[in-house]
Structure 1
């Protein structure tokens, strides 16, 4: 039985059947931990030879690459999943708080270090933009904190199946905070400096919406980045999947690696078994599907009808560079902003082309953990937002290498002199590569967070016509991002424990 791992642990709850979780990504593992902690028998089936899902990995010439997300916030959600089986983050991970959380570099040559400590960031804002802006920052921070508290307890970490579920006291508190306005103006009312406005609104792009059009409610992403804190696990982001999977198997759960799921066996409105590529039949009382939504729907043989067309987020080009030097200007995370701003969103989202003056996220994990590269070497992860395959018609297999050269030239012009000559190994990922991994429209960011795809209007984690199948992951509620996929897994587990899907 290929790649099967089983650890001794508690037995199944009396009268409870087996749950099969398809996918050992972070949502699937969080779900499995919560179910195992409740005493359910759980088997996780994963097509890759390791856990993590989109938090992937690649070892190349002695460099240990994280191929998925690089920013970790809200580690208490990891702790919550691990606590379900009696463990903690401290048992499994060595998390390093990053200070600054980001370094923001601008086209005019100015640099702002983004601190999560209130006084340190106020002092930094005063240094670069004056006392008046520092006071505005403090107002912005307080607003972000109040917004987060309202949204987390009632709309993010909560079951929200229909618009009627929104009608609760916190809905009116959210409205009073301006959560249903637009993000960019909401930030702009508190800070006037254009650089600060960018720092506290660029995150909306990863939710698939330009700041001028995004709901102000999505400022909670900026809260997570700039107030709650950014962390990095020693060993790389791959350590997250290893930690969750290790705790799960220690608690008696089973993970079967290297086994793709090809179909679901059904009887009436119930899924009775999961069939793997190798022909194994895993009988189940419930199934949790964490694959990209189109793949999950193909397995279910059901494509739900929606009154409006599904919209996917922009994609990204990621360039991994193993170098023989580093640059003092780089932090662990550096946001390199171009002079252009609003036009970049239009180019990616509306015009379907690459940014003419790109804003880039450059991560140098070896600044925090040198062991991720051979001695004397350094690792860079360059993320450039890009149109998804539905929005644009870029021939990435042809244009990818040219775009790689363009990105390197841009970074050299912005201060990373000699970057190209320093490269000793590299790996390029384009939207075409994401598509080959099975991600719809070649985007790792799934569905965009438009109003019509937010809260109860986002695809839910139950499946009409199927009574015991539950969905989890970034395409379902509450949405995209490491914190939200962990919550998605927890909400999926609660569904199973409450009796399953929609009848």
Structure 2
């Protein structure tokens, strides 16, 4: 049986109102717990935050939403619905890929549309290979989801299931790049189905083929955009949690945890003390461990994913050939990954993700204006330039990035910028992200599944971790799952908390709290 938090767990404090914390809060509320959420910022979102500048509404975190049913599970826990609160727009195409040779490919998540596009782009043989690749991705997803992703691990022996044999038979323990190449030979197509490994922190040539499940999410299951921006998702989750009785407290940073033996008894914030029976910690691992007073010992230090520079640009013009999401591939490939993960140098020939959210929702910018987010992967601060060095590098890197975009068809972009904000590894580090990366611990084999930092921490009986540093990992879908899995550690799998607890999917009555109860002790 999966381990759960022992003893009383009636009142749970969730530290952090990001996606994982809000997902945990909703699942806990659905199981009848009283929930208090404390957040250092003035609004929900965490990494999925919002920056408002002169009429521009800028998403500061993820720009791609896949697997929305995982978000809907959290809403359903309190009898609510994602689609009742968020207007989701399916993106067609999901991506537009542009290559150094001038060719372009629209990435469709529909099978027939994508097969036709691949045939136009690379011929009938590659189109047939794509259909086989798609079938393999679907089987890979089915083999992994129930046993390896949406699961709390207490031991590596939990891997020993029939699904492990299925995963092995599918070639999941081979190398990603080689496995993709067994279906499609065109090197450009191979990039489209393997670049996602970068966000897992492992070059495609070294990544396990099992990580192609990320490509399944991106290229098969569908890509969506919430009207109002990605920040609309955490905002809606916070509203649903409040409606279900959660006490949400913003601008209330946590300073320490009070303990009695191996149990956390209270969360102390800048505004007072909140007694609790259990706590869910969603900050990045070093911050969470610092609050707990110790970090679990590992035989090898954690290895972190590459970071990213993100240039948010509000412009007075746009370029019609851009999609909502455009991947601009440089000519270099293996060298790029070596620079990001081995030598620690800035990309000499970058591959860039360009997001233009005003393609789908013009209201995110003033009339006649446009938003462009340019994400350029870069080494983390443990491998490449440190946070202090980025202070000197940032202005020149911005200019070189704009010049590179100009060469790739965004002609005149430097003069078109009316409003800008550039985020570097120094900024991520200042936010508490280890090694200056928002992508947390890399998904090497030794840091995946049961080998990833556990969400239960030895030495503390009633604290559970959630977020991208713990189970199951990095990305919006997996972070939402981490909140669900953290809640399950407290509530138990499929069992009510106590007589009269709300059934999963039922909306609990709001908790009435007196002024005396709300007053810090």
* Band the TM-score falls in, shorter-chain normalisation: over 0.9
Aligned equivalent of 1:276, options 263, 269, 293:
269
Aligned equivalent of 1:155, options 138, 142, 148:
148
Deviation at 1:498, TM superposition (A): 2.6
- What is the correspondence of 1:57-76 to structure 2 with a 5 Å cutoff? 57-76=50-69
Contact 2:9 2:278 in 1 (8 A): no
Aligned equivalent of 1:182, options 147, 153, 175:
175
Residue in structure 2 matched with residue 9 of structure 1 by the alignment: none
Residue in structure 1 matched with residue 131 of structure 2 by the alignment: 138
Aligned equivalent of 1:399, options 393, 397, 408:
393
Aligned equivalent of 2:17, options 20, 24, 41:
24
Q: Does 1:356 align with 2:348?
A: yes
Query: How far apart in 1 are the matches of 2:195 and 2:53?
Result: 31
Q: Does 1:375 align with 2:367?
A: yes
Residue in structure 1 matched with residue 404 of structure 2 by the alignment: 410
Deviation at 1:16, TM superposition (A): 4.9
- What is the correspondence of 1:429-444 to structure 2 with a 5 Å cutoff? 429-444=423-438
Query: How far apart in 1 are the matches of 2:83 and 2:443?
Result: 33
Residue in structure 2 matched with residue 346 of structure 1 by the alignment: 338
Residue in structure 2 matched with residue 122 of structure 1 by the alignment: 115
Residue in structure 2 matched with residue 329 of structure 1 by the alignment: 321
Query: How far apart in 2 are the matches of 1:391 and 1:57?
Result: 29
Query: How far apart in 2 are the matches of 1:61 and 1:213?
Result: 44
Residue in structure 2 matched with residue 239 of structure 1 by the alignment: 232
- Structure 2: give runs of 5+ residues left out of the alignment: 1-7, 494-521
Q: Number of matched residues?
A: 485
Query: How far apart in 2 are the matches of 1:332 and 1:498?
Result: 41
Aligned equivalent of 2:379, options 379, 387, 401:
387
Query: How far apart in 2 are the matches of 1:400 and 1:191?
Result: 39
Query: How far apart in 1 are the matches of 2:24 and 2:263?
Result: 20
Contact 2:75 2:82 in 1 (8 A): yes
Q: Does 1:192 align with 2:185?
A: yes
Contact 2:16 2:37 in 1 (8 A): yes
Q: What is the TM-score normalised by the length of structure 2?
A: 0.92
Query: How far apart in 1 are the matches of 2:128 and 2:263?
Result: 57
**Higher relative contact order, chain-length normalized (CA < 8 Å, sep 6+):** 2
- SS at 1:390's partner residue? coil
Query: How far apart in 1 are the matches of 2:352 and 2:143?
Result: 31
Residue in structure 2 matched with residue 106 of structure 1 by the alignment: 99
Cα RMSD between the aligned structures?
A: 1.0
Query: How far apart in 1 are the matches of 2:444 and 2:349?
Result: 25
Query: How far apart in 2 are the matches of 1:201 and 1:223?
Result: 10
Deviation at 1:393, TM superposition (A): 2.7
Deviation at 1:79, TM superposition (A): 0.6
Query: How far apart in 2 are the matches of 1:467 and 1:355?
Result: 44
Q: Does 1:498 align with 2:492?
A: yes
Query: How far apart in 2 are the matches of 1:353 and 1:255?
Result: 42
Deviation at 1:308, TM superposition (A): 1.2
Q: Deviations over 1:462-482 (max 9, x none)?
A: 010111000000000100000
- SS at 2:335's partner residue? helix
Query: How far apart in 2 are the matches of 1:173 and 1:339?
Result: 36
Aligned equivalent of 1:319, options 303, 311, 315:
311
Query: How far apart in 1 are the matches of 2:113 and 2:262?
Result: 57
Query: How far apart in 1 are the matches of 2:253 and 2:148?
Result: 34
Residue in structure 2 matched with residue 462 of structure 1 by the alignment: 456
Query: How far apart in 2 are the matches of 1:307 and 1:466?
Result: 20
Query: How far apart in 2 are the matches of 1:140 and 1:124?
Result: 15
Describe the shift of the 1:244–1:317 C-alpha distance in structure 2 as closer, same or farther (beyond 3 A).
Answer: same
Q: What is the TM-score normalised by the length of structure 1?
A: 0.95
